[in-house]
Amino acid sequence: MSVYNQPRKRVIQFIILGMVMLIVVRLFFLQVIEKKYSKLADANAVLRKVVYPSRGIIFDRKKRSILSNDAMYDLVVTPIAAKNIDTSYLCQILQIDKEEFKRRIATAIIKNGSRRVSVFASLLPPDMFGRLQESMYMFQPGFDLVQRQIRSYPFSAAANILGYIGEVSPQMLVKPAYSAYNQGDYLGMTGLERAYESVLMGQRGIQYLVKDNLNRPQGSYEKGEFDTAAIAGKNLHLSLDIDLQVLGEHLMRNKIGSIVAIDPQTGGLLAMVSAPTYDPNLLTGSYRARNFSRLFVDTTKPLFNRAIQAGYPPGSSMKPLTALIALDEGVITPSFGFPCHGAYVNCGRPIACTHTTPGHAANLRLAIANSCNAYFVHLYRLEVDAPKWGGVKKGHQKWHDYISSFGLGHRLGVDIPGESGGKAIDTAGMNKLYNGQWNSCSELYVGMGQGQVVATPLQMANAMCIIANRGSYFLPHFVHSIDGDESDPILKKYKEKHTVAHVADTSYRSVIYGMQDVVESGTGRVAQIEGVIVCGKTGTAENNAVVDGKLVKLKNHSVFVAFAPRDNPKIAIAVIVENAGFGATYAAPIASLIMEKYLHDTISVKRKPMMKTLLEYNTLDPIVREKSKLDSLNGATAKMTSDQILKLYFRD
Amino acid sequence: MINRRQIKLTEGIDWPIMGLYFALVFVGLLSIFAAEYREGDNIWNDIIHLNKNYARQLMWLGISGVLATIIWLTDSKFFTATANLLYAGGILLLLLVLGIGKDVKGSHSWLVIGGFQFQPAELTKLCTNLALAKYLSSLETDFTKLRPRLIAAALALVPCGIIILQDETGLALVYFSFFLVMYREGLPGLLLIIAFSGIVLVLSALLVDKNILFIIFSVLTVLVIYFSRREIKRHRSRLAVILGIWAFCSVFVMFIVPMAFTKVLKDYQVRRIEVMLGKENDPKATYNTRQSMIAIGSGGIFGKGYLKGTQTRYDFVPEQSTDFIFCTVGEDFGFLGTLIFVGLYVGLLLRIIFVAERQRSTFSRVYAYGVASIIFFHMAINISMTIGLAPVIGIPLPLVSYGGSSLMTFTMLIFIMLRLDADRQMVLR
Q: What is the 3-state secondary structure (H, E, C) of A376-416?
A: HHHHHHHHHCCHHHCCHHHHHHHHHHHHHHCCCCCCCCCCC
- The yes-or-no verdict on residue A107 having pLDDT over 50 is yes
Which residues face A529 on adjacent strands? Answer: A532
Q: Is A44 in contact with B189 (Cβ distance < 8 A)?
A: no
Q: What is the pLDDT of residue A1?
A: 44
- The yes-or-no verdict on residue A596 having pLDDT over 80 is yes
> What CA–CA distances, in Å, run from B399 to A643, B27, B58?
88, 9, 12
**What secondary structure does DSSP assign to A417-445, as a single string?**
S-----EE--HHHHHHHTTT---TTTTGG
Nearest CA to A633 out of A259, A126, A292, A272 is that of: A292
Torsion of CA A89, A90, A94, A96, to 10 degrees: -80
CA A59 to CA A66: how far, in whole Å?
6
Q: What is the pLDDT of residue B429?
A: 45
CA B397 to CA B323: how far, in whole Å?
7
Of A9, A34, A214, the CB nearest to B184: A9
Q: What is the pLDDT of residue A652?
A: 64
Q: Does the beta carbon of B330 lie under 8 angstroms from any beta carbon of chain A?
A: yes
Q: Does the beta carbon of A25 lie under 8 angstroms from any beta carbon of chain B?
A: no
DSSP state of A448: G
CA B125 to CA B133: how far, in whole Å?
12
Q: Is A212 in contact with B180 (Cβ distance < 8 A)?
A: no
Nearest CA to B299 out of A20, A25, A217, A40 is that of: A40
Exposure string (b/e) for B67-95, b if CB count within 10 Å is 16 or more? bbeebbeeebeebbeebeebbeebbebbe
B42: helix, coil or strand?
coil
Interface test with A, best of B192, B311, B361, B374 (most A CBs within 10 A): B311
Task: Classify residue B58 by burial, with Cβ atoms within 10 Å: 0-12, 13-18, 19+.
Answer: middle
Spatial contact of A381 and A443, defined as CB atoms under 8 Å apart: no
Binding-face residues of A in 306-365 toward B, CB within 8 A: none
Q: What is the pLDDT of residue B286?
A: 65
Q: What is the pLDDT of residue A81?
A: 76
CA A585 to CA A609: how far, in whole Å?
14
Which residues face A453 on adjacent strands? Answer: A424
Spatial contact of A614 and A589, defined as CB atoms under 8 Å apart: yes
Least confident of A2-16, A217-231, A548-562, B219-233: A217-231
The residue ranking higher by pLDDT, B315 or A367, is: A367
How many other C-beta atoms can be found within 10 angstroms of the C-beta atom of residue A642?
Answer: 17
Q: pLDDT band for position A499 (50/70/90)? A: confident
Residues of B with Cβ-Cβ distance to A47 under 8 angstroms: none
Residues of B with Cβ-Cβ distance to A212 under 8 angstroms: 314-316
Q: Does the beta carbon of B94 lie under 8 angstroms from any beta carbon of chain A?
A: no
Which residues face A538 on adjacent strands? Answer: A560
Spatial contact of A610 and A588, defined as CB atoms under 8 Å apart: no
Q: Is B300 in contact with A32 (Cβ distance < 8 A)?
A: yes
Which residues 6+ apart lie within 8 Å of B243 measured at CB?
A: B221
Q: pLDDT band for position A45 (50/70/90)? A: low
Q: What is the pLDDT of residue A3?
A: 44
Q: What is the pLDDT of residue B282?
A: 54
Q: What is the pLDDT of residue A111?
A: 75
Q: Does the beta carbon of A8 lie under 8 angstroms from any beta carbon of chain B?
A: yes
Spatial contact of A66 and A60, defined as CB atoms under 8 Å apart: yes
B104: helix, coil or strand?
strand
Interface test with A, best of B335, B339, B377, B381 (most A CBs within 10 A): B335
The values of phi and psi at residue B118, to 5°, are -135, 135
**What secondary structure does DSSP assign to B172-222, as a single string?**
HHHGGGHHHHHHHTT--HHHHHHHHHHHHHHHHHHHS-HHHHHHHHHHHHH
Q: What is the pLDDT of residue A226?
A: 61
Q: What is the pLDDT of residue B284?
A: 52
Which residues face A525 on adjacent strands? Answer: none
Q: What is the pLDDT of residue A404?
A: 92
Tens digit of pLDDT for each residue in A561-584? 999 899 999 999 999 998 888 878
Residues of B with Cβ-Cβ distance to A219 under 8 angstroms: 39
Q: Is A30 in contact with B387 (Cβ distance < 8 A)?
A: yes
Of B331, B353, B389, the CB nearest to A13: B353
CA A24 to CA A34: how far, in whole Å?
14
Interface test with A, best of B190, B298, B312 (most A CBs within 10 A): B298
Strands A343-344 and A351-352: antiparallel
A614: helix, coil or strand?
helix
Q: What is the pLDDT of residue A137?
A: 78
The residue ranking higher by pLDDT, A141 or A387, is: A387
Q: Is A17 in contact with B346 (Cβ distance < 8 A)?
A: yes
Interface test with B, best of A5, A10, A27 (most B CBs within 10 A): A27
Round the average pLDDT of chain A to a whole number and report it. 84
> What CA–CA distances, in Å, run from A490 to A59, A186, A417?
18, 22, 14
Q: What is the pLDDT of residue B315?
A: 65
CA A461 to CA A455: how far, in whole Å?
10
The domains of chain A are located at 57-238
Nearest Cα residue in chain A from B187: A8
Spatial contact of A267 and A475, defined as CB atoms under 8 Å apart: yes
Residues of B with Cβ-Cβ distance to A11 under 8 angstroms: 183, 189, 192
The values of phi and psi at residue A607, to 5°, are -90, 5
DSSP state of A137: G
Q: Does the beta carbon of A47 lie under 8 angstroms from any beta carbon of chain B?
A: no
CA A587 to CA A375: how far, in whole Å?
23
Q: Does the beta carbon of A21 lie under 8 angstroms from any beta carbon of chain B?
A: no
Please write down the long-range contacts of A409-413, taking CB distance under 8 Å and 24 or more positions apart. A409/A453, A412/A458, A412/A459, A412/A462, A412/A475, A412/A476, A413/A475, A413/A493
CA B178 to CA B191: how far, in whole Å?
13
Residues of A with Cβ-Cβ distance to B353 under 8 angstroms: 9, 12-13, 16
Tens digit of pLDDT for each residue in A140-188? 777 887 777 788 888 888 899 999 888 777 788 777 777 677 666 788 8
A57-238 under CATH 3.90.1310.10, yes or no: yes
Alpha carbon of A1: minimum distance to chain B alpha carbons (Å): 8
Q: Does the beta carbon of A218 lie under 8 angstroms from any beta carbon of chain B?
A: yes
What percentage of chain A carries pLDDT values higher than 90? 28
Q: What value of ipTM does the predicted structure carry?
A: 0.87
How many other C-beta atoms can be found within 10 angstroms of the C-beta atom of residue B195?
Answer: 13
Residues of A with Cβ-Cβ distance to B294 under 8 angstroms: 37, 40-41, 44
Q: Does the beta carbon of B297 lie under 8 angstroms from any beta carbon of chain A?
A: yes
Tens digit of pLDDT for each residue in B188-214? 888 888 888 887 787 777 777 778 888
Alpha carbons within 13 angstroms on the beta-carbon side of residue B99 total 6
Q: Is A30 in contact with B345 (Cβ distance < 8 A)?
A: no
Q: What is the pLDDT of residue A2?
A: 44
Beta strands in A224-345 (DSSP E): 236-238, 257-263, 268-275, 343-344
The residue ranking higher by pLDDT, B312 or A384, is: A384
Which residues 6+ apart lie within 8 Å of A219 measured at CB?
A: A209, A210, B39
Of A8, A31, A213, the CB nearest to B316: A213
Alpha carbon of B350: minimum distance to chain A alpha carbons (Å): 7
Q: Is A27 in contact with B384 (Cβ distance < 8 A)?
A: no
The values of phi and psi at residue B4, to 5°, are -60, -40
Of A19, A41, A214, the CB nearest to B295: A41
- Conformation bin of residue A155: beta by default, left when phi > 0, alpha when psi is -120 to 50: alpha
CA A41 to CA A31: how far, in whole Å?
12
Which of the residues in chain B have pLDDT under 70?
1-8, 105-106, 275-286, 313-316, 427-429
Strands A58-59 and A65-77: antiparallel
Report the run of H or E that residue B250 belongs to, with start and end.
Answer: helix B236-251
Task: Classify residue A185 by burial, with Cβ atoms within 10 Å: 0-12, 13-18, 19+.
Answer: middle
Residues of B with Cβ-Cβ distance to A10 under 8 angstroms: none
Helix axes A6-28, B362-386, angle to 10 degrees: 20
DSSP state of B306: T
CA A554 to CA A546: how far, in whole Å?
10
